[in-house]
A and B are shown apart, each in its own frame.
Chain A
Amino acid sequence: MSFRARHLLGIEHLAPDEITTLLDLADSYAALNRSDSKHSDALAGLTQINMFFEASTRTQASFELAGKRLGADVMNMHMQATSLKKGETLIDTALTLNAMHPDLLVVRHPHSGAVSLLSQKVNCAVLNAGDGRHEHPTQALLDALTIRRAKGRLHRLTVAICGDIAHSRVARSNIHLLGKMENRVRLVGPPTLLPSQAAEWGVEVYTDMVEGLKDADVVMMLRLQKERMDGAFIPSEREYFHRFGLDAEKLGHAKPDAIVMHPGPMNRGVEIDGTIADDINRSVIQDQVEMGVAVRMAAMDLLARNLKAAKAEEGVLV
């Protein structure tokens, strides 16, 4: 098996063969999820704790369902409501939970690097469910699986990632992943929402949707992250929709069979026209949600296997 990581903290440090291994396994879980009996015992007897320091409905539900379908005992903790208010530090919280012997820790945190910091202090496998503006690896993996299933391949595609790149961890993880798998990545957005020197990332940068979408195979829209903005980045939502929102006219410049993606939750009429989002011939947004559960099952399964192997090895050494 070629998936060697102990934690899933980001895409940056994964190798292409690790990504392929994970997606192959996720494909089989996608089949399981469509069958009558949606259950496996891959994580039976293991404990999974979901720690969300930032509100989330979709990602947390997806992780919870993934764990339950694999037979793990799943606990959800809404951290923004509890220990932080009592002044406990992130590391103390991690140590407290670590003492309860979880096997998988799923963490979302508003600050970049926080999940990596936490992973250094615990014995279990840690999955990053989004840290600040840094990475959101399972989102990039589910996007990759969705693309692979829709397009039949995950290489030599032109992918336009559009919108609020600067505040988006989804964009960063996708740029890493799509680059590793040898795709052509374009970033499209207003200059205030593009990171400085994005061109140095080995991507093409556009500030015009028509140019950026030209002949694209995949159009990936990002949510306008209003909660991460600390000032005026765009004049108004209506001007943003006019210039950068995805509508039929702009999509017309992409390839005729181009697919439309969105990590959700959508701001309809801000970054995407509702009719495009609902067009079953173009939009794969619902497939993304479906693949999310499969990818998370695969990621937790692989990490649990590596954890078991590591423990067995330590046992030998003792």
Chain B
Amino acid sequence: MTPLLFKNARLIDPEKGTDTVGTLAVAEGRIAGAMGLDGATVIDCAGKCLAPGIVDIGVKVSEPGERHKESFRSAGEAAARGGVTTIVTRPDTLPAIDTPEVLEFVRRRANEAAPVNVLPMAALTRGREGREMAEIGFLLDAGAVAFTDCDNVVSNTKVFSRCLTYAASLGALVVAHPQEPVLSQGAAATSGKFAALKGLPAVSPMAERMGLDRDIAVVEMTGARYHADQITTARALRRLERAKEMDLDLTAGVSIHHLTLNELDVGDYRTFFKVKPPLRSEDDRLSTVEAVASGLIDVISSMHTPQDEESKRLPFEEAASGAIGLETMLPALMRLVHAEHLDLPTLWRALSLNPAKRLGLEAGRLNPGAPADLVLFDPDAPFVLDRFTLASKSKNTPFDEARMQGRVLGTWVSGQRVHGAH
């Protein structure tokens, strides 16, 4: 493989926290430092940003079961276009990824079809039903990087604590969805003035804090490695802060949608804005942005959830939840950079470095020896998003027709270009 030399690049280094113009060399699929290499292909970055590729925890690829919504090929293409070099997939498929056999199928399909790295998560309980523990040991051996029942909260605390105790003994990471499941049952919005006027069934934002409180107690009890998939409310953030002071092995994420949209965006019952947990108040949104800036929230995810037109063209209460995000996460997050809420190295700490660290990956950084998973992007390039140009099979993005800034110019996985051309 010919070595690569990225010249005249704004290097976004989340580990050093720097944003400086310089040169980056790549050899044998790995970052080789700033030294010139003989016979290297020179890529002139023209002052654009070069950053580690995004590591996206919690992507739904609808294989097996609903390949018409998303396949490894389409999701992989969307990821490459969006600067996501590692997708960490969710097991909320049909059937759930809860046995080594299904996991094996997923890994084989992913390797055949996706141009980016795919790391699967597996279900924590059989069928994500919250009753019996999945074969955590076998699944770990088969390559599961974390265990999660996704948005099915394991409501039986006895089952949940046993799962965490068992996972802790194997050093397995558990990803949970902090939510009081009975209180939030049937909710399509966050309770407040907007939901009440629109007549939508709503859940108090307190349900998230209740869920997190329970989970923190179980983590304290079991010593498990725990990651909260999405923390979206100021109330829960205060609990997260206290838990982190207790020195538990605990991290938290947030989705691009909760960072960039609020409950009012639903407007006239627009179902592409129906996500789980529901969009929050503007105050809560600003709290999550602040928490990413301070490092209290560790990880940003797209929470990519493909849904076909049929499942969204329904009355709001009946419509499916979720939005796609692989291809739109970078331009969406540029809103926070242009609004001067976050700088690029801080953003990339949550997009690449922290998720890679949490999963024990070498990727996500720019230091010599790390895999050459890279994204080159122009943070300022303006465009109007047309959802039908997206690579995902499903087009359910809340950013349709939105004015965006930030375009991915090129994506490399282990030094191989997977998106963009000169």
Residues of A whose CB lies within 8 Å of any CB of B are 12, 89-91, 109, 111-114, 116-117, 131-135, 166, 169, 172, 195-198, 200-201, 230
Given known contacts A113-B316, A132-B317, is B191 in contact with A169 (CB within 8 Å)? Answer: no
**B residues in contact with A230, CB < 8 Å:** 186
Other A-B contacts than A89-B313, A113-B200, A198-B196, 4 sampled, CB-CB below 8 A, are A112-B200, A113-B269, A134-B199, A196-B202
**A residues in contact with B192, CB < 8 Å:** 196-197
Q: Are B199 and A200 in contact (CB under 8 A)?
A: no
**B residues in contact with A201, CB < 8 Å:** 193, 196-197
Q: Would you give 11 A-B contacts (Cβ < 8 Å), ordered by A?
A: A12-B197, A109-B315, A111-B318, A112-B316, A113-B199, A113-B200, A113-B317, A134-B199, A195-B196, A201-B193, A201-B197
Shortest distance between the CB of B200 and any CB in chain A (Å): 5
**B residues in contact with A132, CB < 8 Å:** 199-200, 315, 317
Query: Is B204 in the interface zone, CB < 8 Å from A?
Result: yes
* CA–CA, A172 and B193, complex, Å: 12
Shortest distance between the CB of A85 and any CB in chain B (Å): 15
* CA–CA, A134 and B310, complex, Å: 23
Query: Is B248 in the interface zone, CB < 8 Å from A?
Result: no
Q: Are B268 and A196 in contact (CB under 8 A)?
A: no
**A residues in contact with B316, CB < 8 Å:** 111-113
Instruction: Give B200's nearest chain A residue, CB to CB.
Output: A112
Shortest distance between the CB of B356 and any CB in chain A (Å): 41
**A residues in contact with B315, CB < 8 Å:** 90, 109, 111-114, 117, 132
Q: Are A112 and B313 in contact (CB under 8 A)?
A: no
* CA–CA, A114 and B271, complex, Å: 11
* CA–CA, A131 and B317, complex, Å: 12
Given known contacts A116-B269, A169-B199, is B191 in contact with A196 (CB within 8 Å)? Answer: yes
Query: Is B384 in the interface zone, CB < 8 Å from A?
Result: no
B292-325 CB mask vs A (1 if < 8 Å, else 0) is: 0000000000000000001001111110000000
Query: Is B198 in the interface zone, CB < 8 Å from A?
Result: yes
Given known contacts A90-B315, A196-B192, A200-B193, is B198 in contact with A112 (CB within 8 Å)? Answer: yes
Instruction: Give A194's nearest chain B residue, CB to CB.
Output: B196
Instruction: Give B182's nearest chain A residue, CB to CB.
Output: A231
**B residues in contact with A109, CB < 8 Å:** 315
Residues of B whose CB lies within 8 Å of any CB of A are 186, 191-193, 196-200, 202, 204, 268-269, 310, 313-318
Shortest distance between the CB of B135 and any CB in chain A (Å): 37
* CA–CA, A90 and B317, complex, Å: 13
Instruction: Please give me the 8 A-B residue pairs with the lowest Cβ-Cβ distance, nearest first.
Output: A113-B269, A133-B199, A134-B199, A195-B196, A111-B315, A112-B199, A114-B315, A200-B193
**A residues in contact with B197, CB < 8 Å:** 12, 172, 201
**A residues in contact with B318, CB < 8 Å:** 111
Q: Are A112 and B269 in contact (CB under 8 A)?
A: yes
**B residues in contact with A90, CB < 8 Å:** 314-315
Shortest distance between the CB of B155 and any CB in chain A (Å): 17
Scoring A90, A109, A112, A200 by chain B CB atoms within 10 A of each residue's CB, the highest score goes to: A112
* CA–CA, A123 and B318, complex, Å: 24
Q: Are B193 and A131 in contact (CB under 8 A)?
A: no
Partner of A112, one of B191, B314, B317: B317
Shortest distance between the CB of B237 and any CB in chain A (Å): 21
Given known contacts A89-B310, A89-B313, A90-B315, is B193 in contact with A113 (CB within 8 Å)? Answer: no
Q: Are A91 and B204 in contact (CB under 8 A)?
A: no
Scoring A117, A134, A135, A166 by chain B CB atoms within 10 A of each residue's CB, the highest score goes to: A117
Instruction: Give B313's nearest chain A residue, CB to CB.
Output: A91
Partner of B199, one of A89, A172, A196, A198: A172
* CA–CA, A114 and B191, complex, Å: 20
Q: Are A113 and B198 in contact (CB under 8 A)?
A: yes
* CA–CA, A198 and B315, complex, Å: 24
Q: Are B198 and A197 in contact (CB under 8 A)?
A: no
**A residues in contact with B314, CB < 8 Å:** 89-91, 117
Instruction: Give B196's nearest chain A residue, CB to CB.
Output: A195
Shortest distance between the CB of B303 and any CB in chain A (Å): 23
Shortest distance between the CB of A203 and any CB in chain B (Å): 11
* CA–CA, A91 and B315, complex, Å: 10
**A residues in contact with B196, CB < 8 Å:** 166, 195-198, 201
Q: Are A197 and B193 in contact (CB under 8 A)?
A: yes
**B residues in contact with A116, CB < 8 Å:** 268-269
* CA–CA, A131 and B200, complex, Å: 11
* CA–CA, A133 and B318, complex, Å: 14
**B residues in contact with A111, CB < 8 Å:** 315-318
Shortest distance between the CB of A6 and any CB in chain B (Å): 14
* CA–CA, A135 and B313, complex, Å: 20
Instruction: Give A118's nearest chain B residue, CB to CB.
Output: B315
* CA–CA, A12 and B269, complex, Å: 14
**A residues in contact with B202, CB < 8 Å:** 196
* CA–CA, A205 and B18, complex, Å: 54
**B residues in contact with A135, CB < 8 Å:** 199
Q: Are B199 and A131 in contact (CB under 8 A)?
A: yes
**A residues in contact with B199, CB < 8 Å:** 112-113, 131-135, 169, 172
Shortest distance between the CB of B152 and any CB in chain A (Å): 20
* CA–CA, A200 and B193, complex, Å: 7
* CA–CA, A89 and B317, complex, Å: 14
Shortest distance between the CB of A9 and any CB in chain B (Å): 9
**A residues in contact with B193, CB < 8 Å:** 197, 200-201
* CA–CA, A125 and B110, complex, Å: 50
* CA–CA, A55 and B116, complex, Å: 53
**B residues in contact with A172, CB < 8 Å:** 197, 199
Instruction: Give A114's nearest chain B residue, CB to CB.
Output: B315
Shortest distance between the CB of A2 and any CB in chain B (Å): 23
* CA–CA, A113 and B313, complex, Å: 12
* CA–CA, A113 and B217, complex, Å: 40
Scoring A111, A116, A134, A198 by chain B CB atoms within 10 A of each residue's CB, the highest score goes to: A111
* CA–CA, A151 and B191, complex, Å: 36
* CA–CA, A141 and B315, complex, Å: 25
Q: Are B269 and A117 in contact (CB under 8 A)?
A: yes
Shortest distance between the CB of B28 and any CB in chain A (Å): 54
* CA–CA, A90 and B312, complex, Å: 12
Shortest distance between the CB of B264 and any CB in chain A (Å): 13
Partner of B268, one of A113, A133, A197: A113
* CA–CA, A200 and B198, complex, Å: 14
Instruction: Give A13's nearest chain B residue, CB to CB.
Output: B268
**B residues in contact with A114, CB < 8 Å:** 315
* CA–CA, A230 and B196, complex, Å: 16
